[in-house]
Homo-oligomer: A and B are copies of this chain.
Amino acid sequence: MKNTVTFLPDNISIVVDRGTNLLEAALAAGVHINASCGGQGLCGKCRVLVEAGEVDSKRTEKISKQEYDQGWRQACTSLVLSDCTVRIPPESRGAKRLKAQKLDMGKADRKIASLKTKPLAEGWVFDPLAIKVPVQLAPPTLNDNVSDLTRLSLGLKQQHDIENLSVDLRCLKAMPKILRSADWNVTATLMPPLEPEAILSEGAKSAPLRLVRLEPGDTSEFNLAVALDIGTTTVCAELIDLNMGKVLAEAAEYNRQAQYGDDVISRITYAQKPDGKQKLQSLVVSSINQVVDELVEQTNTSKKNISCIASAANTTMTHLLLGLETRYIRETPYVPAANFMPAVYASDIGIDVPDCVEFYSFPAVASYVGGDIVSGILSSGVFQKEQLTLYIDIGTNGEIVLGNRDWLVCAACSMGPAFEGGGIQYGMRAEPGAIEGFHINPLTLEPMLITVERKRPRGICGSGLISILAELLSACVIDRNGKFAHDLPSDRIREGRFGWEYVVTRAQESATRSDIVITEVDIENLIRAKAALFAGCLTLLESLSLTFDELDRVIIAGAFGRYINIENGKRIGLFPDIPDEKFQFLGNGSLIGSRLVCLCREMLDEVQRIAKMMTNIELSDNPSFMDKYMGALFLPHTDEHLFPDVSEYLRSTRQTVRSERKHPGEFQTRPPGRLGSQEYA
């Protein structure tokens, strides 16, 4: 059910789901409300007066009984229950403000790796990767003493019409005892072959189903899969009910390999040391084990109900996990051992699940375009549509895919882990306490911020960083080179231990009891990262004589917070300056593709097809790319023609801010563009 919330005095309305948090509604509507504690009701700065309609909000100590009766509430702890009108008093807006400044939150906010995130791919049907079927067999007699395996096969044929069966030694070893201890009532787990695919031509289609597991009794109601996205920085996972076709839980942990370097290059370097390969292998496995433990704990189930694991990862992560040589991925000309990986037993590589759980690795395209991107292309449906699509995955590496159902080219550019929070002083993953939404009052320089799950701020995640950078730029706190203005009237801008910085959260309001800041060094890292990505996109397009205007669609994948904002992304030159409606956010496309394979076995073939279809273009030693990279080390870009609308907007906004700072009160009209009611969620 939808409700309209109107914010006064600016009279800006937004349509939101009933139950939406009022502070989030304001952020989405582009209405500034001071809020520095992340939305947990502690700082008491976000007081608003509900003049009409109903919100659900308990009284807190920051609001007296009398005020509460008058309609005063804390926005961050109020939920919208009807259409309502909410007045923001001057003290909550910031005493000084640009009249009716809108935050331009965009429509494309999505939760990362969310249960709600859905693949954009179409036409797939629920046909799970592993099925479990109960079989009741007649005990053998002298007149019917076929082998246990044949008896089971015949039972599967008669009771489930399953023919053409193969079996593994591991499963066979346990079979006789299980059949008899279970009095011939068992459950068989069956999977299609996940074998190493034929490299040059299509694999055999008529391959038999594989009997991977036998359990006593009827356990068919417990049939789980783990979908994995193994990133350089983060291991994300979903637990999937293969009977219901439902995601039951999600979990994410830092990849413990990170102690040996932030990016794949440093991992590969470490892998070349004695025992380095083994150590890295066991570290990523321990991270996987941790997320699997969490999934199982969250859902109060048992690991023994897991039937299979599908894993999408970049090429280096896949190589390290399977124990393959990574050295030649790093050295020019960047050659992986293989793109198509054999399936293995999860337990054989150290994952703590039952013996016969299979581990499927998505195939890669090249050393720096891995299975995670193939998985993303699967989930994004790029390979199914006629539309010309640019797929951008922002992780530790930036990977770009351009194409449609007929052709796909791809490239990778080394962004560094900045947008994943790596190399950023207070960078973190989009987990509870991460600042994911940010706005600044350009005159008071006070922030409005929202954290993941509205926990006390602990750090800043990707979407928060994009917003902070864009907001500091719009508010003239930094210039187009990312350097701080030194003359601003706020102690939030200061010279810190590592140079100039902006205090996003003060110590008393942070979870860590120390200031959370963004530094000039952080900003340099972010600019280099976005420059690499943008230069990559531009090079790829130019190599096919295409321009940004010719794109029908841009799909953004990557693990951000919920509040990733197209406008902000454009303003810092991370995204191309094309109409908002062409953008789609996918979330963690790699994880979604991984889930998709678990839910629909036919996708295994599509995965193969996609990987074979993708043509990799090397950027690393490409002089044209280097030129474009240099040109992009500016906010949004040295070449304003590439960002016409954004440049216009920034020029006008920054001019307004500067002139208001010099002559307070003079400028009272709304800044141009992009305002008005909009639907949120």
Contacts and interface: CB of A to CB of B under 8 A. Distances in A.
Interface of A: 140-151, 153-154, 157, 163-169, 172-173, 175-177, 180, 195-201, 203-208, 322-325, 327-328, 332-342, 344, 364, 366-367, 618, 621
15 contacts: A145-B334, A147-B338, A149-B199, A149-B338, A150-B339, A153-B200, A164-B201, A166-B198, A167-B338, A167-B342, A169-B344, A173-B322, A175-B337, A176-B327, A198-B208
A180 B333 CA distance: 13
Contacts of A168: 196, 342
B169 A322 contact: yes
Give 7 nearest A-B pairs by CB, closest first. Answer: A149-B338, A176-B325, A153-B199, A166-B196, A145-B333, A198-B208, A204-B204
A341 to B, nearest CB: 8
A438 to B, nearest CB: 41
A200 B157 contact: yes
A167 B334 CA distance: 21
Contacts of A148: 328, 335-338
A338 B344 CA distance: 23
A333 B195 contact: no
Given A146-B335, A334-B145, A337-B148, A324 B173 contact: yes
Among A177, A195, A205, the one with the most B-chain Cβ atoms within 10 Å of its Cβ is: A195
A333 B144 CA distance: 8
A325 B173 contact: yes
A50 B177 CA distance: 70
How many copies altogether?
2
B196 A167 contact: yes
Given A140-B335, A172-B338, 6 more contacts: A140-B333, A141-B333, A166-B199, A167-B340, A172-B342, A206-B206
B199 A618 contact: no
Q: Is the interface of A mostly helix, strand, loop or mixed?
A: loop
Contacts of A166: 195-199, 203, 342
Given A173-B325, A204-B204, A150 B196 contact: no
Contacts of A172: 322, 324, 337-338, 341-342
Contacts of A364: 147
A169 B342 contact: yes
A147 B200 contact: no
A330 to B, nearest CB: 12
Given A172-B342, A176-B325, A164 B335 contact: no
Nearest to A170: B342
Contacts of A165: 198-200
Contacts of A333: 140-142, 144-145
Contacts of A336: 147-148
Contacts of A344: 169
A157 B175 CA distance: 41
A339 B165 CA distance: 13
B618 A366 contact: no
Nearest to A338: B149
Contacts of A196: 166-168
Contacts of A337: 147-149, 172-173, 175-176
A175 B327 CA distance: 12
A236 to B, nearest CB: 24
A428 to B, nearest CB: 34
Most B C-beta atoms less than 10 A away, residue of A196, A324, A333 = A196
A344 B169 CA distance: 8
Contact of A323 (B141, B173, B198, B327): B173
A196 B144 CA distance: 23
B325 A199 contact: no
A319 to B, nearest CB: 9
Contacts of A150: 199, 338-339
A242 to B, nearest CB: 23
A524 B198 CA distance: 60
A339 B344 CA distance: 25
Contact of A204 (B207, B322, B327): B207
Contacts of A324: 169, 172-173, 176
A200 B163 contact: yes
A359 to B, nearest CB: 11
Contact of A339 (B142, B149, B180): B149
A469 B312 CA distance: 71
Contacts of A334: 142, 145
B204 A206 contact: yes
A618 B142 contact: yes
Nearest to A326: B176
Nearest to A315: B147
A164 B200 contact: yes
Contacts of A206: 204, 206
A167 B343 CA distance: 10
Contacts of A328: 148, 176, 180
A12 to B, nearest CB: 53
Contacts of A339: 146-147, 149-150
A148 B168 CA distance: 29
A149 to B, nearest CB: 4
Nearest to A153: B199
A366 to B, nearest CB: 7
A175 B207 contact: no
A143, A146, A364 — which one has the most chain B CB atoms within 10 A of its CB?
A146
A355 to B, nearest CB: 13
Contacts of A176: 324-325, 327-328, 335, 337
Nearest to A209: B198
A154 to B, nearest CB: 7
A335 B332 CA distance: 58
A366 B143 CA distance: 12
A333 to B, nearest CB: 4
A164 B198 contact: yes
Nearest to A150: B199
Contacts of A621: 142
Contacts of A367: 145
A322 B172 CA distance: 10
Contacts of A153: 199-200
A392 to B, nearest CB: 23
Contacts of A180: 328
Contacts of A141: 333
Contacts of A327: 176
